[in-house]
Chains A and B, each alone.
Chain A
Amino acid sequence: MIPVSYYFALSAILFTLGALGVLIRKNAIIIFMSVELMLNAANLLFVAFARTYEALDGQIYVFFVIAVAAAEVAVGLALIVAIYRSKQSIDIDELSSMKG
């Protein structure tokens, strides 16, 4: 008998931690992992609400999120590998060619 708000809170904490990870780490791989964490937090909330409203849609969405995440990770990691090969670094701050 757990109130759904608990899951909400947990999800919010995990999401915030993920966001913090994105904002304060420089290692591109870790930033990437943080993004995964944020996705996971959202998934948790989806499932929790799906349970609350006795509907399957939420779970289906999670399923799609996982699929998309898989695709995203594949492409993202390939990008990181490509960047590392050209720059010999995956420090996100060294990739500042977009400076205005």
Chain B
Amino acid sequence: MLAAMISSIEEVGGFFTSVPLIVFLPLAGLLLNIILGAIFKDRWGERASSGIAIAAVLGAFVVSVLQWLSLQGHHEGVTVMFKEWIQIGDLDIPWEFRVDTLSVTMMLVVSGVGTLIHIYAAGYMHYDVRYKEDPASYRRFFIYLNLFIAMMMVLVSGNSYLMLFVGWEGVGLCSFLLIGFWYSRNPDASTGIGNSFAAKKAFVANRVGDFGFLIAMFLTFWATGTLSFADVFEHVDAIAPGIVLAITLFMLLGVTGKSAQLPLYVWLPDAMAGPTPVSALIHAATMVTAGVYLVARSAPLFAAVPEAQTAVALVGGITALFAATIAVAQSDIKKVLAYSTISQLGFMVAAVGMGAFVAGMFHLVTHAFFKALLFLGSGAVILALERAHHPLEEDGHEHDHHDDHGQAAEHHFDPQDMRIMGGLRKQIPTTYWVYLVGAVALAGLPPLAGFFSKDEILADALHANPLVYALLTAAAFLTAFYMGRQVLLVFFGQARSEAAAHAVESPRVMTIPLMVLAGLSIFGGALNLPGLHGLTHWLEYTLGHEFAHATEFNITVALTSTLLALAAIYLAWLLYGRQPATDAKAQDPLQARLGGLWRAMQNKWWVDEIYEALIIQPYRRLAAFFAETVDWRFWHDWVHDSLTGRGFRGLARFLANPVDQGVIDGIANGLASGTVGLSKVFSFFQTGFVRNYALMVFLGVVAMLGYLVFFA
């Protein structure tokens, strides 16, 4: 049926016609969940909800693999026309699927990592919905998650900027829904911000970016007359350089919104208010990399204007370092990872900015593996503490002694706070090992995936822009440091709270995806090993040789970064591992050494506060001023009611009053009595007797006839 809906495709064979399924399978999954859930109500259990959702994503993954297989014979890729969408005059934007090596790479990452996270979430959410006392939300979660996969697939498979934008906004919506998943929670201790506020913040910040994207599209369309990728790139040479620069810079604004770069990154840390699988899927592995994908996709545009490239690279580099500094001083396990994500996204953005599109994409893929791993691992840690703190009935009664915890203690319990953890490696060994793999991969130690991808970026940066290289190297050093700090704080030392001492290992439905991701994090580097350059050649089919050059392995860079990472880890061990803190309230060792700098980093350089003071408060006040003073009191009440309305009434009164009183007061009295007399005369006629009236009429008739007869 689907194949029949597709209007046209060149006859190339393969499974290309099945590509719309990557969108429609998740959609079908969510619709089934909605409909069946509505029909069966409570009998539609958790297994059914998650089962359908997982099957849908797995199906999408299978279809993506089929695309990959089909591409083997047709490296140039195909465009699958699905449906006409908007068609006005020269504007013709169909819904077309672009299947080429670049988009298939993204499809595989999204559906692959997505599947693993779905499986993990099936276990995780089982507990989460109970701790949040809303088990009915389980189905809702998977509906959102499937919607997200569908939208992400629209994003990566679209053949035009507008279709990409559709997915772009669609994932923004899902992000909004999932951050606000526990919408009824008030400003809560772990995030410092209510979920619904965080969700709104994410949406609005993204909208600011979307504004840039929109403008970029307008510029593109009026310069080239089209929005589909291939046609736009054909015209690049014909567009004035100034316009290309504008296009790319506005696009950069979009990228900073979606990929959480300076200055619009502020939403991402708050987005951690969402359930942990969401943080892993959306806010680490897939959605936030959309900006990187956009730049890679637009390689010909960016390559045409070096100024734009420099801007992109600088934004990426500065963000990488900036976010890394904040990550160092966070105590919330997810916050560290959030800032780490921003920092790593900075790496990718810097890479694609410098023209190292393959390196950027490479890092995107490996980062998806190990950052998803880290987030899911942190979820496992959080859950381990939560279950130890107040066990659910099904967990048995081995932790009965926790029941004597007072309400007050319960109130302050924050399972995400690293300061109350410690020593967890004994309690939850599986989680510990996979987390360690993820951390090492992120820190960039060979031979794990992160090393190769990061190294490729650094090598390119050395060629292209020494400043960016310096920024990124510093960021890499900090990365290794904060990951070392985190691992040491969480897993080493001794337990700093009752909950940490009795942490419970997660069920297999959660640990197996973790192990798979750990494997990917270890071996992911094989994708683009120096010398083999598998990914480079693969992407070259789409990007062209010009933009997909193989970076030579630079032994100096590799050695430098490895040594730096080792040094950072050693430094972390000196500070946190040698004499681990024993008390949750203990001061961070760095705090004493760094002083004010630490405060600044801990408070995220007060960026949120600055935005609040410079943008949000003024806007709020402006809105209130316009609404209450300008529109209502001035325009509505004063101009319309007082000036116009009362003015008119005043005029009427002015015209009426002089007769009555005022100006001709003296005459008025005479007039008044005259009026009384006259009215008496008139009221004489106003007898109420019909016949009198008839007589008057008759009198009138006679008089008129008389006039007509005698005088006319």
Contacts and interface: CB of A to CB of B under 8 A. Distances in A.
Contacts of B560: none
B686 A92 contact: no
B656 interface: no
Nearest to B684: A100
Interface in A57-97: 92-93, 95-97
A60 to B, nearest CB: 25
Q: Which 10 A-B pairs have the closest CB atoms?
A: A100-B686, A99-B688, A96-B688, A98-B688, A100-B683, A92-B690, A96-B689, A22-B694, A93-B689, A23-B695
Contacts of A95: 690
Nearest to B702: A19
Contacts of B689: 92-93, 96
A25 to B, nearest CB: 8
Given A19-B698, A23-B698, A92 B688 contact: no
Given A19-B698, A23-B698, A93 B691 contact: yes
The B interface, classified by DSSP as helix, strand, loop or mixed, is helix
A62 B430 CA distance: 112
Contacts of B587: none
B687 interface: yes
Interface residues of B, number: 11
A51 interface: no
B687 A92 contact: no
Interface of B: 682-683, 686-691, 694-695, 698
A30 to B, nearest CB: 12
A93 B688 CA distance: 8
A6 B695 CA distance: 27
A45 to B, nearest CB: 14
Contacts of B690: 92, 95-96, 98
Contacts of A92: 689-691
24 contacts: A22-B694, A22-B698, A23-B694, A23-B695, A23-B698, A24-B691, A26-B691, A31-B691, A92-B689, A92-B690, A93-B689, A93-B691, A95-B690, A96-B687, A96-B688, A96-B689, A96-B690, A98-B688, A98-B690, A99-B686, A100-B682, A100-B686, A100-B687, A100-B688
A100 B698 CA distance: 20
A99 B687 contact: yes
A46 B695 CA distance: 25
A59 B683 CA distance: 43
Nearest to A96: B688
Given A26-B691, A92-B690, 16 more contacts: A22-B694, A23-B694, A23-B698, A92-B689, A92-B691, A96-B687, A96-B689, A97-B688, A98-B686, A98-B690, A99-B688, A100-B682, A100-B683, A100-B686, A100-B687, A100-B688
A19 B696 CA distance: 12
B629 to A, nearest CB: 52
Nearest to A95: B690
B683 to A, nearest CB: 5
A73 to B, nearest CB: 18
Contacts of A23: 691, 694-695, 698
Interface in A30-63: 31
A98 B690 CA distance: 9
Nearest to A92: B690
Interface string A15-31: 00001001110100001
A92 B689 CA distance: 7
